[in-house]
Structure formats: C-alpha cells, structure tokens
C-alpha cells in the first residue's frame, strides 16, 4: 500500500516541498509519504476555498444534497477498502473500522437530508410597539470558509461531522486531518471531487497541526474553526482565534453509574465494549464506573471475566478486538499512570501491562479519585470501578470532574433516573445506556473542559450558518 500523498488543493493534488513518513501504529511499517504543507500551500488552500465559496453559496440546496448522496454511494461501494484504510493508519480493529464506515455513511446521509431542510422562520415584529406594518423573516446563510481540524480516533466519521454539515450549508472547507490518519481524509476529498463538488470547496492539507493551525487561526478569510481533539489544543485554538466562530469537541473521563437491582448479565458485555472498544481511544470511552456497594464484588467478577474474552492482535485480523495504541509514547504514559495509581492504593484486578504497542485491557478497583487514571482523560484501555452507597454520592462522584461530555446510568428506579437527568453536569445523559452511545444525528458535545458548541448534523449546520433577518415595511 506504500504510496505518496500530495496535498489536495483547488480540486487537484499538488506536490509538497517536503514529506513525512506515515507508519502503521501496529507494526511500525511504513505506509506512505505524506505531504507537509508549507506556509504557501496553506495560503493556496485558503485562496482556493475563498474562490470556491462564491460557487458554493450559489449552488441550490438540491445540488448540494445530490453531491452528498453521491459520496454516500461511493462509501457504500468501497466500504471494505475504506475500513482497511482506517485499520491500517489508526490500528483500529477491522470490525470497529467497518462500523466507523457505516456510521460515516449515515453521517453524510443525514447531511444530504439536512441540506434540503435549511430554513429560517417568520418573526412577529408587531409584538413590540413600533414593529407593526412589517413582514419579517430569517434566512440561514453559509458562513464562508471553514477550517476543520480533526483527531486520529475516528478519521472518517469525525471528518464527516465537519465536512458534511459545512457542504450541506454551502460553505467551503479546509480540512487538516490528524498527522496519523491522513489517508482516509484524502480518500473523502477524492469522493467529493468525483461527486461534482466545485474545485476548491474541499481542500485537504497535512503537516504539523501547530504550524498549520497558527496560520488558519490568524487568517481573516477563515470565518470558523471547527475542532475536535484534546482539551489543551482546543483551549489554544479558542484563545488564538480572535473573533472567529469556534466549536470545540474535546476530551472526557466519562463515567457510568450502575445501581443495585440491574440485570448484570445483560449490561456487562455492553459496558466492557464501552470501556475497551478501539483500545479506549474514544472521547466517550467509559473510564470511571461507580457501582452500588451491594453488587460491587459480583459486578467486578463478571466484568473481569467478560473482559478476558477480548482478543488482542493485528487490526487486520477478523477476530481482533483490541490492537495497538496510537503511539508507543501513549503506551508508556498509560503504564506510568496505572503504576502510579497502584502505588497509591488502587487494586489491580486485570491487565496492567503492555506488549509491544498493545496495552492489555486493564481493570482497577478502589482508585483514589485524585489519581490521574481517574481525574485526567486516560484515552487507553483502562477502566476503574469504585463503589457508592447513596445515589446522591454517585452523582457527585460523576460530577467531580473537569470534563462533562456524556454520562450513563443503569437503574430500575425512575426517580433516580430523573434525578440523574437533572443533576449530571454533562452534554448528554444516557439512561439505561453506556455513556459511549452515539448516533450521528443526535446533538453531541460537552460542557466544562469537554468543549463548546454541538455537532450532530442539524446542530452543526446551525453553528456553520449565519442567521440573517430580513424585514419588509409593508405600509
Ligand atoms: P490532538 O493531539 O489535540 O490533535 C487533534 C488535531 O489537532 C490534529 O489534527 C492535530 O494535528 C491538530 N493540532 C495539534 N496541535 C495543534 C495546534 N497547536 N493548533 C491547531 N491544531 C493542532 O488530539 P488527538 O490525539 O488526535 O485526539 C484525541 C483527543 O481528541 C482526545 O482528547 C479525545 O477525547 C478528543 N476527541 C474528542 C471528541 C469529541 O467529539 N468530543 C471526539 C474524538 C476525539 P497533528 O496530528 O498534526 O498534531
């Protein structure tokens, strides 16, 4: 699969002045040479996007929808090829990579639907004295050029969550994918080109996030930065983007409450999946589980036994559940956080070590909440299980976090479910579900350090359009 990938600017590949080697995170074999965008390349991408924006704003909704529908068809035709690209560049086990492609298909499908539905509303101006004799309504106009910066962990679907609504709303896009996962982004650009998107309406530039990001943030021609990634980078972008619109989808240390009386046989396989799918490198991976003291030991025993069924190995093998973490550095970081927690009193019930790039699924119990493994985002196949006695205490434990993306609760008690819905400080409360649950049309985003703004196509379209008021004086 070794290849050279140039930059995608103005509807064609353009040579870069230098290239970086892309390696497979599982076996460290070279996959491709990836272009590094220079200052001039970024400027060229911005100019191409600005020019294309004029055409995009004029494209009727049905044509934007049809382009998105064609991309959906290409993805369906090439489902297996796309899954293999994700598996290779991100070490995502093939089963999970296929699920990601299926979700990407849904995301662009929703974007196509949304393109046909963007509308404003009438405004009753005469509700205020002096407002009578007017017919007023709003329209939603595209913002212009949008810069999209995406992380490695869902390289196709998180790109879709930005490119889909941006194109649906008539914007043009400069996409800067994570350095580890550029291949799926270039693939999507090719699909949009084949689907008839005006040249320059989607540009893909690769290279260091820091240097490309600095140029994008300073350039006045860019009207919005939509970012998904780590809280540190998110904050940096927020603080350096001036008056641009900024949406941030950041990290979390997602928590789950399991109340007494819950049927553990049904929920545990699902919880294990929420904790360890894609090596725990999911922004809503379950990291903290709070279990009622009366069922704690049974829960831990069953949870460990279910986790032991997971098969570690090559992401390209059909039965692999767990593979390499994204970098060897992240393996070492995880190891040091686990070791530190054990040294400070946590009890290791499973895993706790690594082999090559694969960190074993790890279960810790009774972890002090001041440990990094609890209060920071671990982003690794590590989960901790602690107990609670009173339900209020469990709510407080979940809220005792600088993050707030999604939280889950399993309970048979409707009053507790409603209490959780009201009191949990997160962007989404999943009742009788794991916090890792997401379908692509629902509003999705966080509070606190988990970010600002919402994705989920309809909600992203709102962020990516400007509301304009038009008022006719009729008498
Ligand atoms: P990351 O290191 O923050 O990188 C994300 C993107 O930002 C990459 O394209 C990166 O480029 C770029 N970047 C890095 N430094 C930058 C800078 N100074 N200015 C502008 N862009 C910069 O995150 P990651 O490791 O790829 O992804 C993991 C994080 O994403 C986790 O915290 C996870 O929770 C979060 N996440 C959140 C959501 C959500 O929806 N809330 C979803 C998925 C992931 P390079 O790769 O070239 O450095």
Q: Cα(18)–Cα(45) distance, rounded to whole angstroms?
A: 17
Provide the pLDDT for residue 2: 62
* Closest protein CA for atom 18 of ligand 1: 210
Question: Roughly what angle, to the nearest 10 degrees, separates helices 94-115 and 61-77?
Answer: 160
How does DSSP classify residue 308? T
- Decide the pairing of beta strands 382-388 and 288-292: parallel
The sign of the dihedral angle between the CA atoms of 415, 421, 422, 425 is: positive
**Which residues does 39 contact at the CB level (< 8 Å), separation at least 6?**
215
Q: Cα(385)–Cα(372) distance, rounded to whole angstroms?
A: 14
* The token pair that represents 421 in the structure block: 């819905």
Q: Tens of pLDDT along 155-176? A: 999 999 999 999 999 999 999 9
* Residues 174, 222 contacting (CB under 8 angstroms): yes
Q: Tens of pLDDT along 249-289? A: 999 999 999 999 999 999 999 999 999 999 999 999 999 99
Q: Choose the residue to mutate in 209, 238, 244, 401 for probing ligand 1, maximizing ligand atoms within 8 Å of C-beta.
A: 209
Indicate the SS3 state at residue 245: strand
Q: Domains (ranges, CATH) in the chain?
A: 4-250+450-473 (3.40.605.10), 255-431 (3.40.309.10)
Q: Tens of pLDDT along 69-97? A: 999 999 999 999 999 999 999 999 999 99
* Closest protein CA for atom 17 of ligand 1: 210
Residue with tokens 């499908």, as numbered in its chain? 109
* Residues 435, 406 contacting (CB under 8 angstroms): yes
Q: Mean pLDDT of all residues in the chain? A: 98
Q: Cα(140)–Cα(467) distance, rounded to whole angstroms?
A: 5
Q: Tens of pLDDT along 26-43? A: 999 999 999 999 999 999
Residue 475 has pLDDT above 90, yes or no: no
* Phi, psi angle pair for 226, to nearest 5°: -110, 120
Report CA dihedral (73, 79, 83, 86) to the nearest 10 degrees. Answer: -20
Nearest to 112 by CA among 174, 197, 228: 197
Q: Cα(61)–Cα(298) distance, rounded to whole angstroms?
A: 55
Q: Tens of pLDDT along 363-380? A: 999 999 999 999 999 999
Q: Which atom of ligand 1 is nearest to the CA of 233?
A: 3
Q: How many residues does the chain have?
A: 475
**Which residues does 15 contact at the CB level (< 8 Å), separation at least 6?**
6, 7, 35
* Closest protein CA for atom 26 of ligand 1: 151
**Which residues does 198 contact at the CB level (< 8 Å), separation at least 6?**
11, 52, 55, 56, 59
Q: Tens of pLDDT along 397-445? A: 999 999 999 999 999 999 999 999 999 999 999 999 999 999 999 999 9
For a pLDDT cut of 90, what percent of the chain falls above it?
99
Q: Which residue blocks in 344-469 are alpha helix, DSSP H?
A: 372-375, 391-399, 414-423, 457-463
Nearest to 315 by CA among 51, 164, 98, 92: 92
Q: How many CA atoms lie within 13 A of 82 on its CB side?
A: 30
Q: Cα(385)–Cα(387) distance, rounded to whole angstroms?
A: 7
Residues in the ligand 1 pocket, defined by CB under 6 Å:
149-153, 158, 176-179, 208-210, 213, 228-230, 233, 236-237, 249-251, 283, 377, 379, 405, 446, 451
* Residues 115, 203 contacting (CB under 8 angstroms): no
* Residues 155, 188 contacting (CB under 8 angstroms): no
Average pLDDT of the residues in 210-234: 98
Residue 101 has pLDDT above 60, yes or no: yes
Residue 1 has pLDDT above 80, yes or no: no
Residue 459 has pLDDT above 80, yes or no: yes
Q: Cα(153)–Cα(474) distance, rounded to whole angstroms?
A: 54
């Amino acid at each position: 699969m070794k290849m050279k990938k140039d930059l995608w600017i103005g509807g064609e590949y353009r040579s870069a002045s230098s290239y970086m080697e892309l390696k497979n995170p599982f076996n460290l074999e070279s996959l491709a040479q990836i272009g590094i965008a220079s200052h001039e390349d970024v400027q060229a991408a911005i100019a191409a996007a600005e020019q294309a924006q004029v055409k995009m704003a004029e494209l009727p909704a049905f044509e934007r929808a049809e382009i998105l529908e064609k991309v959906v068809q290409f993805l369906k035709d090439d489902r297996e090829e796309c899954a293999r690209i994700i598996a290779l560049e991100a070490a995502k086990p093939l089963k999970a990579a296929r699920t990601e492609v299926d979700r990407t298909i849904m995301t662009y499908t929703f974007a196509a639907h949304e393109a046909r539905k963007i509308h404003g509303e009438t405004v009753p101006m005469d509700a205020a004295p002096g407002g009578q004799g007017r017919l007023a309504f709003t329209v939603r106009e595209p913002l212009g050029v949008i810069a999209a910066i995406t992380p490695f962990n869902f390289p196709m679907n998180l790109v879709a969550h930005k490119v889909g609504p941006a194109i649906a709303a008539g914007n043009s896009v400069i996409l800067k994918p994570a350095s580890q996962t550029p291949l799926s982004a270039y693939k999507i650009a090719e699909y949009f080109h084949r689907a008839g998107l005006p040249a320059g309406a989607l540009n893909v530039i690769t290279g260091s996030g820091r240097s490309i990001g600095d140029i994008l943030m300073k350039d006045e021609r860019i009207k919005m930065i939509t970012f998904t990634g780590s809280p540190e980078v998110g904050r940096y972008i927020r603080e350096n983007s001036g008056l641009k619109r900024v949406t941030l989808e950041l990290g979390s240390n997602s928590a789950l409450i399991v109340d007494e009386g819950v049927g553990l046989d049904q929920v545990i396989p699902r919880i294990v999946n929420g904790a360890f799918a894609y090596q725990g490198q999911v922004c809503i991976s379950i990291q903290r589980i709070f279990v009622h003291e009366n069922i704690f030991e049974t829960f831990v025993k069953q949870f460990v036994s279910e986790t032991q069924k997971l098969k570690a190995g090559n992401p390209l093998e059909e039965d692999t559940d767990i593979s390499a973490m994204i970098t060897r550095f992240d393996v070492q970081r995880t190891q040091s956080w686990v070791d530190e927690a054990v040294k400070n009193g946590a009890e290791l019930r499973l895993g706790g070590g690594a082999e090559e790039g694969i960190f074993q699924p790890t279960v810790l119990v009774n972890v002090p909440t001041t440990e990094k493994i609890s209060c920071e985002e671990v982003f690794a196949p590590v989960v901790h299980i602690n107990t609670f006695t009173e339900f209020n205490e469990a709510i407080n434990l979940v809220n005792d976090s600088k993050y707030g993306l999604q939280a889950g609760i399993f309970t048979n008690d409707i009053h507790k479910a409603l209490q959780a819905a009201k009191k949990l400080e997160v962007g989404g409360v999943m009742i009788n579900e794991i916090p890792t649950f997401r379908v692509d049309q629902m509003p999705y985003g966080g509070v606190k350090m988990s970010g600002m703004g919402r994705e989920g196509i309809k909600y992203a379209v709102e962020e990516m359009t400007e509301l304009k008021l038009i008022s006719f004086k009729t008498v």
